[in-house]
Amino acid sequence: MYDDIVELAKRRGFFWPSFSIYGGFAGFYDYGPLGVLLKDNIIRTWKESYMEDGAIFLDSPNITPEPVFRASGHLARFSDLAAECEKCKSKFKFESVLAFNKQDIIPANLEEAKEMASDTYLKCPVCGSRITNIYDFNLMYKVSGDYYLRPETAQGIFVNFKLLFNYNRGKLPMIVGQAGKGFRNEISPRQSLIRLREFNQCEIEVFLDPENLEFKSLYDYKKIKMKPNTGEELDITVKEAFERGLISSQAFAYFVLKTQNILENIGIESSKLRFRQHDPDERAHYASDSWDAEGLIDNEWFEIVGIANRTDFDLNNHQSSSGETMTTKIEEREFIPYVIEPSYGIDRILLTLMAQSLETRDGKNVLKIPYPVAPYHFAVFPLMKKENLKEKAEYIYENMKKQDKYIVYDEAGTIGKRYARQDEIGTPYCITVDYQTLEDNTVTVRSRDTAEQKRIKIEELLDLDFINSYIYKK
């Protein structure tokens, strides 16, 4: 499925490797015309969903001065264990050398990794020579002087905490979001959008009173897949997971459920979505607990959202380093707020959505992306390029566009080919103007998901509320 999606994405204009006329450079991808629409719709779903919980948003620079990352710990600790083959000069994440050599034990630090490489013959995955050169590799890009490209959007929010808190009239909980680019000098970029060097993040920082780590009440009914680091995968409600002590706070449980709901609304299948808790030695330097939302593609689980309990780690460090107070006072109590952070990787979500949505019908691709995030909602066609049919189809297209911009007009090729093209790019409905239209003002509406066709009156078509209830929800 993964290979099929990457091929479809390039051919149909969703995404493709960047700079290909110069041979391509690993870890960079462009979004084409349909990918831009799909990505924006995913981001809109994320944003509107957090607005329901009162989120406010920020847009801060990509280029960030060194003191920010000295304070946040990224300068000293945002690194991967890397390995270089001295013979063929290939570079790898140490983790992938271990996987290639079928080693299950992951060393906790550089010393342990070096010890392991001296005790065990670790083969280079490319040339088979012994790997001995292991080192720490900082993932941040230094741009010039004392500036770095941000590896996460979160620090922009932390350094602005005081201004945002004042804007929020000194109230907690406060939810702040930022959608933007993250940059990481990944040692081995891979699998198109999975591990990029420049990627799209939508991050949420929830600031809470550490003595009241609660948010809205938890629904009781919905079971989700959770894999705690202490045992097997469970089908469990977040309420139960919290009550059993698997999740550290009520607020954390709320944002796990929120993430499940957002991903489902985007179109990730609940049976192909789970939350996996990090082992203690797997956590980022700032986290006291982390759960990854993972999506399933071709029997492999990929992290698509990381949810971390960042405690007061970042605000505390920025307070000590900058001298600016991050301490707040609520009802005579002074404290530095705690942070829960659901961090969404939009590229991985988009890829997972496309891979999970692709089906074949009669040997042809059908991309069953949900209506709200599909690049186009409707395609309008004249049955043939005859003047009277074209005129009517253009009239319908222009009128519908006044109410819904996500509409495409197509008159090229046979009607069967046009249906197939729209099925493959995920357009839920095709509207065809034919000779009967000229007689009785009705058109054919064809559903992508069932290939069923219905005739309806043009006036009804232009009433989008009607078409949504009549066709979409059936």
Among 98, 154, 256, 326, binds ligand GAP (CB under 6 A): 154
Q: Looking at beta carbons, which residue is closest to ligand GAP?
A: 345
Give whichever of 40 and 424 is closer to ligand GAP, judged by the CB atom.
40
Stretch that binds ligand GAP, among 80-88, 98-106, 299-307, 418-426 (CB under 6 A): 299-307
**205 is a site residue for ligand GAP (CB under 6 A):** no
Give whichever of 202 and 431 is closer to ligand GAP, judged by the CB atom.
202
Give whichever of 39 and 239 is closer to ligand GAP, judged by the CB atom.
39
CA distance 150 to 69: 9
Among 303, 312, 411, 449, binds ligand GAP (CB under 6 A): 303
Structure tokens at 215: 């948010």
- Which string of x and - marks every residue 114-153 that binds ligand GAP (by CB under 6 A)? --------------------------------------x-
Stretch that binds ligand GAP, among 16-24, 304-312, 457-465, 466-474 (CB under 6 A): 304-312
Question: What is the 3-class SS of the chain, one letter each residue?
Answer: CHHHHHHHHHHHCCEEECCHHHCCCCCCEEECHHHHHHHHHHHHHHHHHHHCCCCEECCCCCEEEHHHHHHHCHHHHCEEEEEECCCCCCEEEHHHHHHHCCCCCCCCCHHHHHHHHHHCCCECCCCCCECCEEEEEECCCEEECCEEECCCCHHHHHHCHHHHHHHCCCCCCEEEEEEEEEECCCCCCECCCCECCEEEEEEEEEEECCCCCCCCCCCCCCCEEEECCCCCCEEECHHHHHHCCCCCCHHHHHHHHHHHHHHHHHCCCHHHEEEEECCHHHCCCCCCEEEEEEEEECCEEEEEEEEEEEECHHHHHHHHHHCCCCCEEECCEEECCEEEEEEEEHHHHHHHHHHHHEEEECCEEEECCCHHHCCCCEEEEECCCCHHHHHHHHHHHHHHHHHCCCEEECCCCCHHHHHHHHHHHCCCEEEEECHHHHHHCEEEEEECCCCCEEEEEHHHHHCHHHHHHHHHCC
Residue 403 CA neighbour count, 13 Å, CB half: 14
In angstroms, what is the minimal distance from the CB of 186 to ligand GAP?
A: 5
Considering only residues 309 to 368 of the shown chain, the ones binding ligand GAP according to CB under 6 A are 341, 343, 345, 347-348
**206 is a site residue for ligand GAP (CB under 6 A):** no
**184 is a site residue for ligand GAP (CB under 6 A):** yes
- Residue 469's alpha-carbon distances to 370, 396, 413, in angstroms, are 15, 19, 31
Among 195, 239, 258, 318, binds ligand GAP (CB under 6 A): 195
Stretch that binds ligand GAP, among 157-165, 216-224, 263-271, 302-310 (CB under 6 A): 302-310
**Residues that contact ligand GAP, how many (by CB under 6 A):** 18
Packing angle between helix 33-51 and helix 250-266, nearest 10 degrees?
Answer: 150
Give whichever of 343 and 444 is closer to ligand GAP, judged by the CB atom.
343
| Cα-Cα-Cα-Cα dihedral sign, residues 169, 172, 176, 182 | positive
In angstroms, what is the minimal distance from the CB of 139 to ligand GAP?
A: 8
Give whichever of 236 and 340 is closer to ligand GAP, judged by the CB atom.
340
Stretch that binds ligand GAP, among 72-80, 198-206, 208-216, 440-448 (CB under 6 A): 198-206
CA distance 411 to 467: 22
In angstroms, what is the minimal distance from the CB of 154 to ligand GAP?
A: 4
Give whichever of 347 and 423 is closer to ligand GAP, judged by the CB atom.
347
Among 4, 186, 209, 449, binds ligand GAP (CB under 6 A): 186
Among 304, 354, 367, 380, binds ligand GAP (CB under 6 A): 304
Stretch that binds ligand GAP, among 67-75, 162-170, 197-205, 211-219 (CB under 6 A): 197-205
In angstroms, what is the minimal distance from the CB of 79 to ligand GAP?
A: 13
In angstroms, what is the minimal distance from the CB of 286 to ligand GAP?
A: 8
Among 80, 84, 203, 410, binds ligand GAP (CB under 6 A): 203
Give whichever of 181 and 454 is closer to ligand GAP, judged by the CB atom.
181
Among 161, 165, 199, 313, binds ligand GAP (CB under 6 A): 199
Stretch that binds ligand GAP, among 54-62, 195-203, 372-380, 464-472 (CB under 6 A): 195-203
Other C-beta atoms closer than 10 Å to the C-beta of 22 total 7
Torsion of CA 227, 231, 232, 233, to 10 degrees: -10
Among 37, 43, 113, 196, binds ligand GAP (CB under 6 A): 196
Which stretches of the chain bind ligand GAP, using CB under 6 A?
152, 154, 184, 186, 195-196, 199, 201, 203, 303-306, 341, 343, 345, 347-348
